[in-house]
Chains A and B, each alone.
Chain A
Amino acid sequence: MPTQNIQNMTLCALKRGMSEKEFTSLEVIETLLARISDHGGSLNAFITVTAEQAITEAKNADKLMAVGENKPLLGLPLAHKDLFCTDGILTSCASKMLHNFIPPYDASVVKNLKASGAIMLGKTNMDEFAMGSSNETSYYGSVKNPWNLELSPGGSSGGSASAVAACLVPAATGTDTGGSIRQPAALTGITGIKPTYGRVSRFGMIAFASSLDQGGVFARSVEDAALLLGEMAGFDENDSTSVDVPVPDYMSSINQSIKGLKIGLVRQHFDAGLDNNNAKAVREALEVLEDQGAEIIEIDLPNIELSVPTYYVVASAECSSNLSRYDGVRFGYRAENYKDLNEFYCKTRGEGFGAEVKRRIMTGTYVLSAGYYDAYYLKAQKVRQLISQDFKQAFEKVDLIAGPTTPSPAFALGAKMDDPIEMYLNDIYTIGANLAGLPGMSIPCGFVNDLPIGLQLVGKHFDEESLLQCGHRYQQKTDWHTRVPERFK
């Protein structure tokens, strides 16, 4: 009976196993639900586990497979970040504000994956409203890093990353506004891709910063990420920023050679701030790609160091606007004792939001306030343009940009909570792709102090294919992505 190995299998391996009748979807789902029940608590990776529903769906999937139904993800398990609306299932965004919110509809991402046959095992923990880089701002408590339970898994999609890294589920969705997929993927040793802005629908994805937010996936291989991305991406008329560009068949082109691929290495990424061992691992990863025929070219992104302050103006401004909808009237937390409508709003919001969310709302309110709009918000939008132009110029010379995903490996829980700037600087390499709307991916490329680190690849708009081909080729030649933390083997 192969059930002992099910937990370590990729989606593609599970798919093969089911089609060759080695095991059923029900066996897969039950094995993983048992693991979630054994280990989910120590990691705090899940907010909600949808066991009953998953078992019913698995039985259904098995019946469908028996009559020859062949949906791309039929019977395959995954988890959703608790920021994607799920019809009839708690969607909290890890906030007290939404601790009781039961959406009346599915997010388009959830709907698409469901239509492809995927089975949801639960909703994963995250930073409150996706605001954080360590998963410590969750109303439901911090998520732990499976490589060392004293450490942060990164954030904001830390629950999804932790669950995939600990083999509780082979893949999970996430969202990335400034690095919230790529940074936790790097810190937990898995693959994470944030597609081009507009590639994946934001409909039903609870908004944080609308011009930066983008849904994506975590998986234990690039091939799995390609499989899932192909199913969740695509034009959606319900999202006014969705882009009507055909989604290529990622699985059919993933084995393409990377001979002649021009990969840019950003000089500024190797300045002070990057851990030496991290830098060494990234350079070694690039040598692997060079051996596969890629050409490494040094490039400059002169304004990239401004990406973090630019991001904190733009994202906070958009957050203060987006989060004004939480007023306690129509859904979510509602304060109890109040004299009038104003006090009702102030108490509801004061009690419902956590400290980091309040800070960002106030920062946003400040940069948008009369007299400060020009000095901060408009200025940041102009600097955003400069950063975006830098990328544009770089992509005239290269096909992809590679570098570190984070400055260092996972840090201790609590280590950066008192210093928001230090926390924000953890996203220094990832934010640029969000500001410019470019696709980015992190793949495991080695270990520093026994902790995984990531190689980041950033591509041209809508060229997820090159990222996937390059990442897949790298994973054919290395085995970093197959490593599993000792206690979760």
Chain B
Amino acid sequence: MYNLPNEGDLGQDIMCYSILSKFTLYSSLNLWWRFQLSLNKEQIKYLAVLSRMDIKEDEIQDVVEKLSSIVEFVDQLQAVTTDGTEPMAHPLAQGQRLRMDEITEYNERDKIQLNAKNTNKGMYLVPKVID
């Protein structure tokens, strides 16, 4: 049905999980999504939660249809043989350029904070997080 991928194939987010939770994740999500390419309302709502983005009730059906057609479209990649092919993350196959950890910028806090709606004494204000 599906194979548990090798450690090296896994994304960093997945690597944080234990083997058990990894297995649980794969079995639930793969069975849930992989064999039904069209997404349903609940899945769209879940993706909206993961994306921290409200989707209005009257927008959902349109998102379901369009996102399903996109997922169906990109699914053609599954049929391509890519055994032994290195994934390509950078078009020029370059490594990350590093520099010395030296101060190169001067403080422009006040200018930068002109764009913020709510600040106080140089700090950004957000709704209360901890009681």
Real complex partners, A and B?
A: yes
Chain A interface (Cβ within 8 Å of chain B)? 100-102, 104, 197-198, 211-212, 237, 240-241, 243, 303, 306, 308-310, 312-313, 320, 324, 327-332, 334, 338-347, 349-351, 353, 355, 358-359, 361-363, 365-386, 388, 419-421, 424, 434-438, 461
Q: Is the CB of B25 within 8 A of A370?
A: yes
- Selected contact of A377 from candidates B11, B17, B69, CB within 8 Å: B11
User: A361 contacts which chain B residues (CB < 8 A)?
Assistant: 51, 53
Assembly CA distance A100 to B91 (angstroms):
34
- Summed over the interface, the residue pairs from A and B with CB atoms below 8 Å come to a total of 202
Q: Is the CB of B74 within 8 A of A367?
A: yes
User: B85 contacts which chain A residues (CB < 8 A)?
Assistant: 382, 385-386
Residue of B at shortest CB range from A367? Answer: B74
Query: What 1/0 mask marks residues of chain B from 44 to 74 whose CB sits below 8 Å from any chain A CB?
Result: 1001111111111001001100110111011
User: B124 contacts which chain A residues (CB < 8 A)?
Assistant: 329-330
Q: Is the CB of B54 within 8 A of A371?
A: no
Assembly CA distance A466 to B29 (angstroms):
49
- Selected contact of B99 from candidates A237, A313, A331, CB within 8 Å: A237
* A307 smallest CB distance to B (angstroms): 11
- Selected contact of A388 from candidates B14, B91, B96, CB within 8 Å: B91
Q: Is the CB of A329 within 8 A of B51?
A: no
Cβ of B18 within 8 Å of any chain A Cβ, yes or no, is no
* A266 smallest CB distance to B (angstroms): 19
- Selected contact of A381 from candidates B89, B99, B114, B126, CB within 8 Å: B89
User: A419 contacts which chain B residues (CB < 8 A)?
Assistant: 69
Q: Is the CB of B77 within 8 A of A306?
A: yes
Residue of A at shortest CB range from B62? Answer: A355
Query: What 1/0 mask marks residues of chain B from 98 to 125 whose CB sits below 8 Å from any chain A CB?
Result: 0100000000100111111110000010
Q: Is the CB of B82 within 8 A of A341?
A: no
Q: Is the CB of B53 within 8 A of A381?
A: no
Q: Is the CB of A353 within 8 A of B90?
A: no
Q: Is the CB of B67 within 8 A of A363?
A: yes
- Selected contact of A359 from candidates B5, B67, B74, B99, CB within 8 Å: B67
Cβ of B88 within 8 Å of any chain A Cβ, yes or no, is yes
Assembly CA distance A363 to B68 (angstroms):
10
Knowing A241-B90, A388-B91 are in contact, say whether A362-B67 is a contact too (CB < 8 A). yes
Q: Is the CB of B77 within 8 A of A363?
A: no
* B82 smallest CB distance to A (angstroms): 4
Q: Is the CB of B76 within 8 A of A309?
A: yes
User: B80 contacts which chain A residues (CB < 8 A)?
Assistant: 303, 306, 379, 382-383, 386
User: A376 contacts which chain B residues (CB < 8 A)?
Assistant: 74, 77
Q: Is the CB of B78 within 8 A of A306?
A: no
* B7 smallest CB distance to A (angstroms): 12
Q: Is the CB of B94 within 8 A of A243?
A: yes
Known pairs A197-B92, A367-B74. 11 more at Cβ < 8 A? A102-B114, A211-B90, A243-B92, A330-B124, A342-B52, A350-B53, A361-B53, A363-B67, A368-B11, A435-B91, A437-B92
User: A355 contacts which chain B residues (CB < 8 A)?
Assistant: 59, 62-63
